[in-house]
A and B are shown apart, each in its own frame.
Chain A
Amino acid sequence: MDGGINKMELSIDRVSKQYRNKIAVDRVSLRLQTGVYGLLGANGAGKTTLMRMICGILKPTSGTIAFNHMDVSTEEYRAVLGYLPQDFGYYPEFKGTDFLLYMAALKGLTKQQARQKVLEMLELVSLENDGKRKIKTYSGGMKQRLGIAQALLNDPKLLVLDEPTAGLDPKERVRFRNLIGELGKSRIVLLSTHIVSDIEHIADTVLMMKDGQMIWQGKWEGGAEDLEDFYLRQFEEEGRGRI
């Protein structure tokens, strides 16, 4: 795989997802390169559907998704992908370490690599003393941290994070916000959140979705206007400024 930072590109070309009588994602086209992309949108805007298609979980009704020309349906694509779903599950009978070792095996790491990486990740998310405990004893925040750890196990070039800071306490939230910022220096990070200030702090590029369409995308320069006000204004000005 070409690991060159500058050559990394996620290409989303006229991707749509249609359910019986609802278009969840409507002809979205994007070209993402190294950096952090913040995806904003109200509930039902199509953020999670788009992310699930980018992760190969949902098949688009039309359009293509590729990372460095590797189609989303290939193992090679998934090998460079890390995904933290919004509402993900776990195996209550597994210990934290078991869960990460299992995910590492699914991601293609060898046993030796997995053991080393699991220790690193547990330390990264401050669960090094809880790895031997069963996940069913974890708090919501601990489970979320475990989710972040599994997403990073394979050192992904494309990291998709759906509400990564949900359930974290304010201190952890700031810590992970900074971590995401760091990760974005050498990979493509696409994150969705309701917390506009998170995006304001770490996203290089802001993407806004409404009713399945991408209504705004661009660098957030800040300036006089607050992102939250800008975001709310975009939703009020329906139809205007669509791309």
Chain B
Amino acid sequence: MKNLKTLYQFELKKIFGRKITWITVGIMLILTATTVCSQLLGTYYIDREKVDSNYAIFQRSRTYEKALSGRPVDQRLLEEMWDAYGKIPAASEHYAGTKEYWTYAFPYSAIFGFVTNACDMDAAEALNREPDETELYAGRQDMLEDLWNSAYLTEGEKEYWRQQELSVETPFVYAYKEGWWMLLDGLYTIGIMTLLTIAICLSGVFPVERARKTDQLIFSSRYGKRTLYLAKILAGISFAAGISLLYTAAAAILALAVYGCDGFGAALQLIYPDYSGSISVGQAVLISYGLLLAAAVLAGAFVMVLSEILKNAVGTLAVISGVIILSMFVNIPVHLRVLAQIWNYLPSVFLSLWNIFDCRLVPFAGTYLTNTQFVPVLYLGMVGLLLTAGFKIYQRY
């Protein structure tokens, strides 16, 4: 299309020419940094007594976790952990408040955390169990079966995951992976910040022409009705994608610089035992942030088309903010399986480790699609539908 590139560049110039864009992106970058580094800020208290700064505790934890890296979570390691935790006086009200915990048990706290998560136990229950590698991994299988039942999976879905589980190698090899974990942990917050930035900066792309009374010049010009629509959409979508990549890059650079790049290949189950399938923590980060990119593109298209329907930037921003806030509080009961699953595909809900790697599947052509396979197709399909509808509305201006 003639002049599309030039018009696209001008539309980008309009987006970046607004002060609100720079202010929003600046604030969100600060919040991204805070999200990634939140674990290091402040002081650690137990029973209102200062233990140490969070940064000092992180440094100690990192040293211990690195010492455990490369070791399989097997009978030997479980026994070491058991011995260490056994030194905590049984009578103590809070085991983490004892000197013995910090001296002997703390170096194994990462393994202890994995055990409690993998078998869905609380700390007291874990402390009363004998160390047993077979029991640990069997306990994880039981936990998975319980999880699948509570998620109302069909027998076919359960069988799918049982087959996936066969590819999971046990015992898991422990690895220090804090940098990657911080990225997964911060995904939800970074996702919300991305969606808000897109809503704030793109809600005016179409309505601003009417507000500034430039619409008359545009619609009476040769390429104002077709090429310009495409140029605006491309500029908005590039901006949305760029914002998600910018926040991803900022979070990744900071997280990996502060916490280190170690543990890319560690099994995802070390931090998320609920998942069945052979995937590493690093791969999970790449998939998750790839989905953030897809969600950003969808959000960009949705914001622009909604603003074209409402012909109002503030109204659009109010609707998007309302949806984001609503999605933070509304939780569809899990027994309403289809509704709950659809609700979880909402970008403001979906962008979290537990939803991306959810066990609920989508049946397709005699097989099943996981969320990581289905959602990108769903989002891109919706982008296509939205843009087509938006074009029709724009033509009827």
A residues within 8 Å of B by Cβ?
A: 52, 55-57, 75, 78-79, 81, 83, 85, 87-91, 93-94, 98, 101-103, 105-111, 150, 154, 160
Contact = CB atoms under 8 A, between A and B. Distances in A.
Given A81-B220, A83-B220, A108-B2, A89 B214 contact: yes
A107 B291 CA distance: 38
B311 to A, nearest CB: 15
A91 B223 contact: no
B92 interface: no
B217 A79 contact: no
A84 to B, nearest CB: 9
B185 to A, nearest CB: 38
A91 B217 contact: no
B223 A106 contact: yes
Contacts of B10: 98, 101-102, 105
Interface stretch (B12-20, B125-133, B188-196, B273-281): B12-20
Instruction: Across the A-B interface, give the 5 residue pairs with the lowest CB-CB distance, nearest first.
Output: A93-B17, A89-B213, A89-B212, A106-B221, A55-B220
6 contacts: A87-B213, A98-B13, A102-B7, A105-B10, A108-B222, A150-B217
Given A105-B223, A106-B228, A107-B223, A52 B216 contact: yes
Interface string B1-44: 01100110010011001100000000000000000000000000
B213 A85 contact: yes
Given A103-B221, A106-B222, A90 B7 contact: no
Given A55-B216, A106-B7, A108-B2, A79 B14 contact: no
B224 interface: yes
B58 interface: no
Contacts of B209: 89
A102 to B, nearest CB: 5
Interface string B137-173: 0000000000000000000000000000000000000
A68 to B, nearest CB: 16
Contacts, number: 86
B219 interface: yes
Contacts of B221: 78, 81, 103, 106-107
A162 B184 CA distance: 58
B218 interface: yes
B226 interface: yes
A110 B7 CA distance: 12
Interface string B200-230: 0000000001011111111111111110100
Contacts of B219: 55-57
A107 B216 contact: no
Contact of B220 (A56, A94, A102, A109): A56
B135 to A, nearest CB: 66
Nearest to B221: A106
Interface string B273-311: 000000000000000000000000000000000000000
Given A91-B14, A106-B228, 6 more contacts: A83-B216, A93-B17, A101-B6, A102-B10, A106-B224, A109-B3
A87 B211 CA distance: 12
B214 A91 contact: yes
Contacts of B2: 108
Nearest to A134: B17
Nearest to A59: B396
A93 B212 CA distance: 12
Nearest to A85: B216
B72 to A, nearest CB: 60
Contact of A108 (B218, B220, B223): B223
Give the residue among A75, A85, A87, A105 with the most B Cβ atoms within 10 A. Answer: A105
Nearest to A77: B222
Contacts of B213: 85, 87-89
A88 B223 contact: no
Nearest to B227: A106
Contacts of A160: 220
A119 B213 CA distance: 25
